[in-house]
Structure 1
Amino acid sequence: MSVRGQFFFIHQLYKKNVVIYWLTNQNSSNASLTGEQKGQAASRNALSMFPIFVAIQKVFVDPLAGKQLEKKPVCIFQMEHYASVRGEHVNPVFEASKDDPPHYDDGFSGNGYSNAEHRDLRPSVVSAFGHNTLDRAPNIDFYRNAGSVSGHRAIRPSLQELHDMFQKVSVNLSPATELGASLLITEKGGFVKFGWIKGVLVRCMLNIWGVMLFIRLSWVFGQAGLGVVIVLLSIVVTSVTCLSMSAICTNGVVRGGGAYYLISRSLGPEFGGSIGLIFAFANAVAVAMYVVGFAETVVDLLEENNAIMVDQQNDIRIVGCITVVLLLGISVAGMEWEAKAQIFLLIILLVAIANVFIGTVIPATKDKNSKGFFNYHESIISENFLPEFRDGETFFSVFAIFFPAATGILAGANISGDLKDPQAALPKGTLLAIFITGITYLGVALCVIVRDATGNLNDTIVEGMSCNFSAACDFGYDFSACATKKCSFGLMNNFQVMTMVSGFGPLIIAGTFSATLSSALASLVSAPKVFQALCKDNIYQGLKFFAKGHGKNNEPIRGYVLTFIIAVAFILIAELNTIAPIISNFFLASYALINFSCFHASYAKSPGWRPAYKYYNMWLSLFGALLCCVVMFVINWWAALLTYGIELLLYIYVTVKKPDVNWGSSTQAVTFISAVNNTLVLSGVDEHVKNFRPQCIVLTGAPKTRPALLDLAHSLTKNYGLFQPLSAHQGSRTDKLQELNTNLESHQAWLRSNKRKAFYAAVASDSLRNGSLSFLQAAGLGRLKPNTLMIGFKRDWRAAGAAAIQGYVGILHDAFDFEYGTVVLRISQGLDISHVIKANGKLTFSKYSKMLCVLHHHPSLGEPFRPFLEGLTCTFLLSGPATLPQSAEMAKVNQRLVDASTQFQKKIGKGTIDVWWLFDDGGLTLLLPYILTTRKKWKDCKLRVFIAGQPGRIQQDKEEMESLLKKFRIKYAEISVVSDVSVRPSSESMKVFEDMIEPFRLHEGTKEMAQAESLRKDSPWKISDAELETFEEKTNLQIRLNELLQESSRAAKLIIVSMPIARKESVPDHLYMAWLDILTKNLPPTLLIRGNHKSVLTFYS
């Protein structure tokens, strides 16, 4: 079976959801094997000559019920990679689907295979060091992107595969990805690739030598004079832009997309997406401009021969539409035809330009003299040197009309995907094109024709007649009549001056046709290519339709049709001087961003900015960007504002949509530098109470499993403070390392997708406390570090073991030790919904989880396959529906849990946030609820403040608190002074507490001394009678507070209570947990808060 046939067959299986396993065999020396082993090795090595496949039935088993669920076909493929040049055998990367990594000691590795067989079973390479190793030498294939058309993407062995023994590591590359990359390779030979001359130089020259060269350049020089400042300014703008473009395109492999690709990969999708649309549109309009220029010449010929069809303007429209249809046909035919047409047109154009220079030195005839042509003379040069703007034209209005004649410099970049070596071709070809065309423009300054001429052979000077009108007087001609009436000849009046000056007029007409048609053809190809690249990146999802290509060159047929429609619309304007300024603005905006991209990338000083082209300067690029912007506004300020307004709207759109792309732009690099610099500056500034803001470490575990904790913390820190959800993976570091690394990115991505502005962190530790302790000590950078710990209340503390309680309470002690503010959230229904997520979702093992399956002697395999399968292994994927049945009651409980856990995601209705500020902790207990009231979701809630007061001075305590809150500028709805906090709790409440701690008491007072000592030794964590008596008052306070909370705050949307503190090594952990439990029992969502007793509020300015 051919390679293409193999891939086609696999692709069909993949579409039918058949699981495909890739097994790669490796040729190795058989010198040391026995005869039987050699036979087995030969069977295995035979697989490297062709792929085999075996269809078996894969059995899915419910791991909980032990029942067979379903059967699905599995296909086992043995594939071998070959070098693309000489068909040599190439070792692929480490196959994670195999068993454990090999070790190359003598003997067996413990799994039944010898070392020699290990080398057969998994890929290895005989390196320059003389032994087989999984390590790979540096190779370009390791650095390719997925789907690279220039070579197969390889994956080097991971650090874990080389470092960890018996570590089973999955490779995150699906068969589809491998298949896609390989298919691209097989098609590579069909692409048409151009060198720097045909692909860049020819294309750029043809695009620059456009419509202006033959039918507007004379008018430009007539208006602006021979100071040629306009030409020089255009050359400066394009040359600086070319230097910037050269630096960008030599900083890595350049793909199709031209200016869009360069800008988007440098500045990011926001800038690239906005300029990509504008640049593609500008090229589409440029097609119309060049076609209208061609049509003008054709209509002039028709007029000379009295063959006008309708009238001059409508004839331009008719000829233009017919022309653009023919050009579309050439473009759709493919790049090969287009390239051949460009070469043919270039030859005609070069002959026409040479014809002009030859004609200027041929002595002028009387007829040409009457039309203002007198060959080279000093008086004509002097007269034409200074500008003479007429008909309301200015320097910049004339520049706006001429500038499109210099805008073809990106013609090569626009087809960068069709170049053999864009990095070398673009700088060389584009700079040479600018140099050649610039010299041409300056050379064709036409110092041989006067500005005005009548074309009348009788307007000669007779003897005795005075003439002071122009330099023509020196040659015996009087064109003074042009001062009172409009003449038809001269630089200012005749757009076909080049034809008259040339040695052979029809060649200039052919040159005009060549210049206009070649530029139109280049623009007609460029616009769809740029637009297709933009659509492929899916920055604007509605434009995905235009991303599809056709044929071996991936031609954007749909883009051609759209460009054709835009071109026809502007051809109908039929006025060259109206179309040209529109294009000038768009091209200048593109050039400004290309220059700014180069400056920005240099300014960011990213190690990834290493352009091979060194002849650029970041400040020169910035000058070029500013020059383009200034010229835009001077040409036409309202058009410039409109252009940048459109760019701004597109930029905002892309920013809001946040396309899922990551191109390593310089914007990211500058953001990183700014973050580092600002952090360093911040670390040199002393903390001040006015700048305090909560910066939270939140012990959420996996973020999605405790949404209430996550949402409340997000509300406290949103946009203004640091928020770090923390997950402590408990267990052996070696066992948890892969899980930690795998989940890190996925959890951060989940936070981003759910618009939670947080920095997810994870630690691997033997216990929750040790993991948290590590993070509490080391989290943060300088002043940018957490100051508040948030944790959920351990609802199942009574069922947990002593070690778990000790660890939980220990976390609170550690937070106090390191002077963190501490916040504990309790919701009656609980916080953890992980079991609900697992039960309601598909209980599916990871796609890359492995279960060893020995294929040999499998009953479903035919006899012919057994010799080939000796010693080979495959992996099973255990998947399929495994939803657990739930009782109706359990479903209701889970639903209540989910509703309670997501309550902070919705807007909180009108109500109160009750703040029980019982102890002065620096103000954190008051500041956090105030911050909540500033959030949109909580803005309808009012603050009610409760404080403890002494009987007899209730009013005084209330006035003092009112004064304090007024100075703090914190709005409140009500202040209540609670004077009966010290009242003994009711017997019912006491009974609840006693029942709560009963399982954790020693009751040593009712036992003999020896027995009591034994109990204390066996269960040191239990609560003794002495400890219970010592902390009786504090215990009663918590019970009494719960009664008061039940009376006053039962209807609150959120309750904030000062958190009691347990002295270390004094209060038993279970007693402390009982305090927290009884204090918050049967209440709405409650936050226990204790600041670090440093002021976070101030009333000073």
Structure 2
Amino acid sequence: MDNGDIEGGGSEDEFHTKQSGRKYRPVVAHDPAVLEMSSVPPGSSSQEKKNTNSDRLNDNTNGSEREHRLELFGFDSLVNILGLKSMTGEQVAAPSSPRGDGEDAPVTFDRDRPGHNDLKLGTMMGVFVPCLQNILGIIYYIRFSWIVGMAGIGESLVLVAFCGLCTFLTGISLSAIATNGAMKGGGPYYLIGRALGPEIGVSIGLCFFLGNAVAGALYVLGAVETFLNAVPAAGLFREAITTSITTFNGTEVAHPIQSPSSHDLQIYGIVVTIVICFIVFGGVKMINRVAPAFLIPVLFSLFCIFIGIFLAKKDYPADGITGLSLKSFKENWSSDYQFTNNAGIPDPEGKVYWNFNALVGLFFPAVTGIMAGSNRSASLKDTQRSIPIGTLAATLATTALYLVSVLFFGALATRDTLLTDRLLTATVAWPFPAIIYVGIILSTLGAALQSMTGAPRLLAAIANDEILPVLNYFKVADGQEPHIATLFTAFICVGCVVIGNLDLITPTVTMFYLLCYAGVNLSCFLLDLLDAPSWRPRWKIHHWSLSLLGASLCIVIMFLISWSFTVVSLALASLIYYYVSIKGKAGDWGDGFKSAYFQLALRSLRSLGANQVHPKNWYPIPLVFCRPWGKLPENVPCHPKLADFANCMKKKGRGMSIFVSILDGDYHEHAEDAKAACKQLSTYIDYKCCEGVAEIVVAPSMSEGFRGIVQTMGLGNLKPNIVVMRYPEIWRRENLKEIPATFVGIINDCIVANKAVVIVKGLDEWPNEYQMQYGTIDLYWIVRDGGLMLLLSQLLRTKKSFENCKIQVFCIAEEDSDAEELKADVKKFLYDLRMQAEVIVISMKSWDVQIEGGSPQDEWSESFTPAQQRIAGYLAEMKRSAKGDENKLMADGKPVVVNEQQVEKFLYTTLKLNSTILRYSRMAAVVLVSLPPPPVHHPAYFYMEYMDLLVENVPRLLIVRGYRRDVVTLFT
């Protein structure tokens, strides 16, 4: 890549001259190429031509309309206010490059791309002038003097300051965001999407696109209607004549009002739209040739208006123009809100009453247009300097112009003239009024061109981000014109032109622009409040309180204009947001909400403290071992039923699960395998709709891996508190002699780490949420476990598959104990815990009583004898191995102590409990039983034999061990 590819404004010949004789040149700190490359983040792409050519498209932001169809000079209701129909034509930068997998495409520099060597724009022509063109619109020409007459000088100053403050604060927020890194195409959509997330960005971006497209039709109709009023002979059909009746000294006076035919508006409007569409299809070069023609008439007309104000004669008081007069200034200082007819002329019997709120809706479109500079970021020499200075300078300049105009118009004419002369600017313009008509026509045509140029690029930018597959038809490659999006925009414009009367649509368009400004303010508010390490804007004059105030003003202005249309706009944006969240592709743009979630998580974690959580606030956080005993296909990351069981441990899905799998081997050799397995496991968890996270640990052995996990997994009080795994039913069938030691080691590690344990036997038959279970959930409550078994049974009943089951609590009692008293105590305890369950007390002989009778019962012999023989064989093998090692019995690599009488006692007790379970709970939906701890210095093989006897012939069993704390409480 040559340096000439980066320094787009430099001469190619000069570059090659410098390069002659060497292949590379030294790179220094102040090298322009280095500076420019360092300012481009990963994911941005060069789109100089699109943005440069769109730089000079901005003209007036406000379209022109008249009475009859668009009531340019008339007001039949608040809906027909010109201010609600004249929208800004925010210019949109070139579309961003396609995004994949949540990341932006890498930076590419193509020397042969058309427009690559176009000169970059400075602050004046790149930001200030476009913003000035957008802000100064038709409202200033035809309605500003009327506003001064209605609100008076004092409230007009307040009105201008109120609306100007809103856009000024938005400009400050825009400056901060725009200087926090390089910007790509998409204008406000790009800024909002990267700050508030793709869902909000797309919803506001699509609303902004619709606003631009419909505004283009309004500008076309305004230009056509102004032209037909100035040149009536150009009409193809007869003009429509309406009559406005006013009362003067008790006498009704009829005022005929001529307006162009609706058919003329439609025909000329379609023709103008097609011509503008052809200009847009001609590319940015043609647009750049045409666009400057719309700036000069606006500036020249302003010059003529002010010259006319200073030259206005004071000798014709009948005309109502007094010249700059202190008397007129005093008379027009206060407001005079009154009823008007459809033409805006004061009429006591008029149907439209004006107040400050209505004037806000009329005037606010005259201060919009501040996004024009930010949309050209790729075409600016210094984005982070030009956007703040140019945008805020244009905002302050136009606000100052409006404030000065309020003073001049208030001192120029009488109130009656201000309210009845619908084109006072043309009346006082020097040297003749036709200049104002030319300015209105050219400014509205320029705004229409700007809308039809910017709207397609905004739509293409949204499509290129690949959030909504339905918009893929509008995608364009870098450096290409969005022709399909332009045709779609033109189709919308033509449809609106044919409709003609857009009274019900245009107020919503105003709301879309206010939503966009509110989104920019909220974006800056969020980023400024969070103050993430990446938030380092070069524009230092910003604060989250200013952004919050700006967003609040936007919302307030929306409701001041029309609460009903505000609700409609918010509802439409919400529908788009919902559609994007359902149908859109997930993407991570590093938006501010992710940072907010991170800080909220940190604060929540700190607020939990290091102390134990109170039982009322206890939540199960299961640590699920996905593949503890192997024997699953490599492409199966987790036993399918483990996720179903993990969901059963949460009430209404609330809670978190941690799914862990251990890979045997060296971490350096299997790190990539672990990453791939973790991604596969995460995908599986999402597929099973289980709220949880996936972790893959590489360790030399499963025992070492688990020991590290149980000590370090989790943060603070968000550490897992229950270890969940399946029972190793395959260990004897597959002759896996290493499983007993691993199994016992895991249980002992959980006891030492104070973790509860839930071992699932019969996992393959565990029901999913659609398999309804009937019968009972039986608890064999043998040892104190803090109420964990009771809580698990209640959680199971909250699931659809177990909701028809009843809970039975079996209490094992000695023969000489009072069974009824024990039953009453347990019932009282369950009642205090708000748990409904049937209590059954079983008297079980102690081992001493059992062995006095001699051998176990015949029905037990089938299971007892083989287990006894296997233990005897294992013990004999240990004794043979111990003869050469100082007669020490060794098992699992460590010395053990075997008491044969104690072993037989464990076998009898376990077998008796299994027999009791089979007698009372053979048809139960699920059985919960306490997990006996492994005896100290006991061979792991013996413990597995005990466990096999306990779970034998029980189809679905949960073996539960609590820990040294309560998880349920009696108190409120």
Which residue identity lines up with residue 299 of structure 2 in the other structure? L
How has the CA–CA distance of structure 1 residues 178 and 612 changed in structure 2, closer, same or farther, with 3 Å as cutoff? closer
Match of 1:598 in 2: 524
Residue 532 of structure 1 corresponds to which residue in structure 2?
460
Residues 653-679 of structure 1, C-alpha deviations (whole Å, 9 max, x = no match): 444557311111111111111111111
Matching residue of 1:883: none
Q: Deviations over 1:1065-1089 (max 9, x none)?
A: 1x32011111222212233232100
What amino acid is aligned across from residue 725 of structure 1 in structure 2?
F
CA distance 1:1019–1:643, shift in 2 (3 Å):
same
CA-based RMSD of the aligned residues comes to: 4.0
Instruction: Sort the Cα spacing of 1:138 and 1:240 in 2 relative to 1 into closer, same or farther, 3 A.
Output: closer
Q: How does 1:184-263 map to 2 (within 5 A)?
A: 185=110, 188-191=113-116, 195-196=121-122, 197-227=124-154, 228-263=157-192
CA distances 1:488-535 after superposition (whole Å, capped 9, x unpaired): xx3223332222211132221111112212222222222222222223
Q: 1:812 aligns with which of 747, 760, 763?
A: 747
1:1011–1:562 distance in 2 versus 1, CA, 3 Å: closer
Where 2:662 maps in the other structure, the secondary structure is strand
- Counterpart amino acid of residue 322 in structure 2: F
Match of 1:708 in 2: 641
Question: In structure 2, the residue corresponding to 1:646 is in which secondary structure?
Answer: helix
Aligned counterpart for 1:826 among listed residues 761, 777, 780: 761
C-alpha distance 588-965 of structure 1, shift in aligned 2 (>3 A): same
| Distance across 2 between alignment mates of 1:593 and 1:281 | 16
**Alpha-carbon distance between aligned partners in 2 of 1:142 and 1:432, rounded to the nearest angstrom:** 24
**Alpha carbons of structure 1 residues 389 and 1078: separation in structure 2 relative to 1, 3 Å:** same
Alignment correspondent of 1:44: none
Q: Relative to 1, partners in 2 of residues 1:651 and 1:1015: Cα closer, same or farther, differing over 3 Å?
A: farther
* Residue of structure 2 in register with 1:518 after alignment: 446
Deviations 1:1024-1083 (A, max 9, x none): 995342132222222233233333333333221111222221x32011111222212233
1:956-989 Cα deviation digits (max 9, x unpaired) = 44333222221111123x4333335767865454
- What is the aligned counterpart of 1:1032 among 904, 913, 918? 904
Secondary structure of 2:153's partner?
coil
Q: How does 1:62-73 map to 2 (within 5 A)?
A: none
Give 1:185's aligned amino acid: D
Deviation at 1:143, TM superposition (A): 8.2
* Shift in alpha-carbon separation, 1:1062–1:178, aligned structure 2, 3 A: closer
- Deviation larger for 978-987 or 279-288: 978-987
The answer as to 2:301 corresponding to 1:352 is: yes
Indicate how the Cα distance of structure 1 residues 185 and 684 shifts in structure 2: closer, same or farther if over 3 A, else same. Answer: same
AA partner of residue 403 (structure 1): F
With 644-653 and 576-585 compared, the bigger mean Cα shift is at 576-585
| Greater Cα shift, 369-378 or 242-251 | 369-378
Following the alignment from structure 2 to structure 1, what is the Cα–Cα distance between the partners of residues 612 and 35? 48
Paired residue for 1:776? 710
Q: Per the alignment, do residues 382 and 945 of structure 1 end up closer, same or farther by CA in structure 2, a change over 3 Å counting?
A: same
Tell me how far apart the structure 2 counterparts of residues 737 and 528 of structure 1 sit (CA, whole Å).
46
Greater Cα shift, 279-288 or 663-672: 279-288
Match for residue 372 of structure 2?
411
Kept after mapping to 2: 8 A contact 1:723/1:758 = yes
The answer to which of 222-231 and 955-964 deviates more is: 955-964
User: How far does residue 696 in structure 1 lie from its aligned partner after superposition?
Assistant: 1.8
- Show the counterpart of 1:373: 321
Give the Cα separation in 1 of the matches to 2:827 and 2:411.
91
The alpha carbon displacement at 1:145 in A equals: 2.8
Match among 316, 331, 334 for residue 283 of structure 2: 334
Assess if the C-alpha contact under 8 Å between 1:384 and 1:451 holds in 2: no
- Which residue of structure 2 aligns with residue 921 of structure 1? 785
Which of 301, 320, 331 is equivalent to 2:269?
A: 320
Secondary structure of the 1:226 match is: helix
Change in CA separation of 1:725 and 1:399 when aligned onto 2, cut-off 3 Å:
same
How far, CA to CA, are the matches of 2:132 and 2:877 in structure 1?
Answer: 105
The match for 2:824 is 959
Q: Secondary structure of the residue that 1:705 maps to in structure 2?
A: coil
Cα distance, 1:439–1:320 mapped onto 2, change above 3 Å: farther
Within 1, Cα distance between the matches of 2:878 and 2:544? 86
Distance 2:191 2:473 in 1: 23
Q: SS of the counterpart of 2:963?
A: coil
Within 5 Å, give how 1:542-561 maps onto structure 2.
Answer: 542-546=470-474, 548-549=475-476, 553-561=479-487
- How many Å apart are 1:758 and its aligned residue? 1.4
| Of 631, 649, 655, the match for 1:721 | 655
Shift of 1:997: 6.3
Distance 1:217 1:179, change over 3 A: closer
Contact residue 508 and residue 566 of structure 2 kept, 8 A: no
Q: Secondary structure at 2:183's aligned position in 1?
A: coil
Give the AA of the match of 1:590.
C
Aligned position for 2:948:
1077
Structure with higher RCO (Cα < 8 A, 6+ apart): 2
2:776 corresponds to 1:912: yes
Which residue is equivalent to 1:785?
Answer: 719
Aligned amino acid, residue 284 of structure 1: A
Structure 1 residue runs without a partner (length 5+): 4-82, 92-124, 129-136, 152-173, 453-469, 472-481, 483-489, 830-899
1:376-391 to 2 correspondences below 5 Å:
376-391=324-339
The answer (yes or no) to whether the contact 1:209–1:515 under 8 Å persists in 2 is no
CA distance in 2, matches of 1:126, 1:761: 47
**Cα pair 1:414 1:530 within 8 Å, conserved:** no
Q: TM-score with structure 2 length normalisation? A: 0.79
CA 1:229–1:293: 2 relative to 1, 3 Å: farther
Structure 1 residues 736 and 84, CA gap change in structure 2 (3 angstroms): farther
SS in 2 for 1:1082: coil
Distance in 2, Cα, partners of 1:279 & 1:516: 19
**Per-residue CA shift, 1:32-61, capped at 9, x if unaligned?**
xxxxxxxxxxxxxxxxxxxxxxxxxxxxxx
Report the 3-state secondary structure (helix = DSSP H, G, I; strand = E; otherwise coil) of the residue aligned with 1:553. Answer: coil
Q: Tell me the equivalent position of 1:629.
A: 555
Whole-angstrom distance in 1 between the partners of 2:40 and 2:441: 47
| Aligned with 1:930 (options 791, 794, 816) | 794
Query: In the superposition, relative to structure 1, how do residues 1007 and 769 fare at CA in structure 2: closer, same or farther (>3 Å)?
Result: closer
Residues 88 and 545 (structure 1), Cα distance of their counterparts in 2 relative to 1, 3 Å cut = farther
Match of 2:915 in 1: 1043
The question of 1:755 aligning with 2:704 is answered no
8 Å contact 1:208–1:405 — kept in the other structure? yes
Matches of 1:828 and 1:225 in 2, distance apart? 81
Pair 1:1058-2:930 in alignment: yes
Task: Report the more deviating stretch, 1035-1044 or 240-249.
Answer: 1035-1044
Deviation string 1:404-446 (CA, Å, 9 cap, x unpaired) is: 1111111233454555654343223322222332233334337
Return closer, same or farther for 1:810/1:576 CA change in 2, 3 Å cut-off: closer
Instruction: Provide the residue aligned with 1:467 in structure 2.
Output: none
Query: What residue in structure 1 maps to residue 227 of structure 2?
Result: 298
CA distance, structure 2, for counterparts of residue 1016 and residue 706 of structure 1: 44
Q: Normalized against structure 1, the TM-score is what?
A: 0.70
Alignment check: 8 A CA contact 2:926 2:957 kept: yes
Q: Following TM superposition, by how much is the alpha carbon of 1:243 offset from its aligned partner in structure 2, in angstroms?
A: 0.8
Give aligned pairs, total: 849
Using a 3 Å threshold, how does the CA distance of structure 1 residues 549 and 1039 change in structure 2: closer, same or farther? same
- CA contact 1:981–1:1040 (8 Å) conserved in 2: no
CA distance in structure 1 between the partners assigned to 2:394 and 2:824 by the alignment = 84
Match of 1:492 in 2: 419
Aligned match of 1:948: 812
CA distance in 1: counterparts of 2:428 and 2:967, whole angstroms = 85
- Tell me which residue corresponds to 2:256: none
Q: Which one of 800, 817, 833 corresponds to residue 968 of structure 1?
A: 833
Stretches of structure 2 that go unaligned for 5 or more consecutive residues are 3-15, 29-33, 49-98, 241-258, 340-352, 628-633
- Which residue is equivalent to 1:270? 199
Matched position secondary structure for 2:899: helix
Amino acid in the other structure paired with 1:359: G
